[in-house]
Homo-oligomer: A and B are copies of this chain.
Amino acid sequence: MRMNDVLDRWAEEGGRRGAMRRILRALKNTGDFWEVVALSEETVPEVARAIDFLGSQGLVAVEDDVIKWKVDISGELDAIPDNLCPRCGGRGVLPRAYVGLVDRFVKIARDRPGVKRDYDQASMNAESVWARVAFIEMRDSLKGSRILIIGDDDLTSIALGFTGKPERITVVEIDPELTAFIEGVAERESLPIETVTLDIREPLPEDLKRSFDIFSTEPSETLDALKVFVGRGISALKGEGASGYVGLTRREASLPKWQAFERMLLDDFSVVITDVVRNFTEYTHWGYFEETRAFSLTPVRTLPKRPWYHSYLIRFELLDTSRGFEEVYTEDFYSDEESSTT
């Protein structure tokens, strides 16, 4: 069988050729399910479906929790080479001025409350937090800035506070245990952080609207959640010249969903995308993983051995015509057919 035949059959079943090509490529690198998800950048349900399809065609089989080629049709593709820069891990930035602060941050973050499944929490590692600080301060002046963080299980507010530059950092967060923790750290360390305990489906308090230079969020990946998290952030920005930083993964968002999100940014919110950096953010393994849909969908019973969950960092900037989202939103928005880690 030629690869094109496989792609044709997959397309007949409604699959995307691009997705299958990436999955076949990743299967040249590894038989580990989670590595295939990470390398192919397709969603967990999509990769599970693809492995199932390839199995039904007699091309692969899962043996001892490893995906093995039965008939190797991948000869027409390269494996995915590791061309990432080993120094910065592909992020392109290093927080060189803050090496000492990173250690202090890690020590404090050790005592944070555990992540909560109810709020779709999962936190990025400290390296990713500080890379984000390094990235933001190249694009936007931190000095004297007002920064809004929507959802802060990563404690980005504390890292930004440690730089000593922002005038004010406001954390909007649903989890009172987390806001209490952040408040405590801010007080002990004299950081200019205030917290607002709020379900982001509620509109922001009036005094936060049109107040910020920068906002940052790592939202849930359903389109409704993206609209609410990002739209609220935009409504909190001062207007033209202010900027937003959003983490978006491909682990729970396919390229068609990415396109819908990008159209939301450009057409609904009228912002301009200035940066899209692949796998900028690496997540730590979270405690409730074995209870997730991701785990129930996999054809293997093994847990990830290495970090496999990353998000891209997307920066956008507001123009004169930009506008956010200020309505009340009352639906549940944590799950759709592509989500798997909620």
Chain A interface residues (CB < 8 Å from chain B): 11, 16-19, 21, 25, 76-78, 80-81, 83-88, 90-97, 134-135, 137-138, 141-144, 165, 239-243, 255-256, 258-259, 262-263, 266-267, 270-278, 317-320
Contact = CB atoms under 8 A, between A and B. Distances in A.
Contact of A135 (B21, B83, B97, B320): B83
7 contacts: A16-B319, A83-B135, A88-B92, A92-B92, A262-B273, A267-B267, A275-B277
Given A25-B141, A92-B277, A263 B255 contact: no
Contacts of A317: 18, 255
Nearest to A261: B272
A277 B277 contact: yes
Contacts of A78: 137, 141-143, 165
Given A81-B138, A93-B83, A165-B78, A263 B259 contact: no
A241 B319 CA distance: 32
A81 B96 CA distance: 10
A84 to B, nearest CB: 6
Which among A141, A242, A271 has the greatest number of chain B C-beta atoms within 10 A? A141
A17 B319 CA distance: 9
Contacts of A241: 16-19, 21
Contacts of A239: 17
Nearest to A257: B272
Contacts of A165: 78
A87 B87 contact: yes
B93 A240 contact: no
Contact of A240 (B16, B258, B262): B16
Nearest to A17: B241
Contacts of A272: 255-256, 258-259, 262
